[in-house]
Amino acid sequence: MLRSGGVFESGLKRVVPDCKLGRLLLQSNVRTGEPELHYLKLPPTIKNQQVLLFDPQIASGAAALMAVSVLKDHGVDEERIIFVTYIASPVGLRRLNAVFPLIKIVVAKVDESWTKRWVDQVYFGC
């Protein structure tokens, strides 16, 4: 996800220099709070690939659900998706796992006392 998932990009390119990258920009609607797809550019061979989906945080899980749905709509099998995140709330993880039980989720920290927009506050000061 382009929103903040780009922080993973330089490390990934160092480890897997020939990986193909796509972009997915989701932003929350200011009135409804629901995620909206604003930009999408996927590699043409994405259907046959293992897909790492990066997002630094999962709060409610709404954006994660939409991102996985977009990939599935473009032919990616659920079993081929690995969602990678720094920090997640238990609620967001439960929602993602309930809707898409076949994806793998890699999370560095599950935070019970979730701080909204944690990455934005800590790294970008907003």
Picking from 9-13, 38-42, 82-86, 107-111, which range would have the lowest pLDDT averaged per residue?
Answer: 9-13
Give, as one character, the DSSP assignment of residue 44: T
CB atoms under 10 Å from CB of 34, counted, come to: 12
Per-residue pLDDT tens for 20-34?
Answer: 888 888 887 888 878
**pLDDT for the residue numbered 2:** 41
* Model confidence, pTM: 0.83
Average pLDDT rounded to a whole number, residues 27-46:
87
Domain 2-124 class, CATH top level: alpha beta
Give, as one character, the DSSP assignment of residue 48: G
Query: How many Å apart are CA 105 and CA 93, to the nearest integer?
Result: 8
Phi/psi of residue 63, nearest 5 degrees: -65, -40
Q: Between 97 and 115, where is the model more confident?
A: 97
Q: Using the predicted structure, report yes or no on whether residue 1 has a pLDDT greater than 50.
A: no
**pLDDT for the residue numbered 48:** 86
Per-residue pLDDT tens for 56-101?
Answer: 888 889 999 999 999 999 999 999 999 999 889 999 999 999 999 9
**pLDDT for the residue numbered 83:** 95
Percentage, residues of the chain above pLDDT 70:
85
Mean pLDDT of the chain: 85
Q: What is the dihedral of CA 110, 19, 40, 97, to 10 degrees?
A: -30
**pLDDT for the residue numbered 13:** 86
- Domain layout of the chain by residue ranges: 2-124
Phi/psi of residue 104, nearest 5 degrees: -95, 140
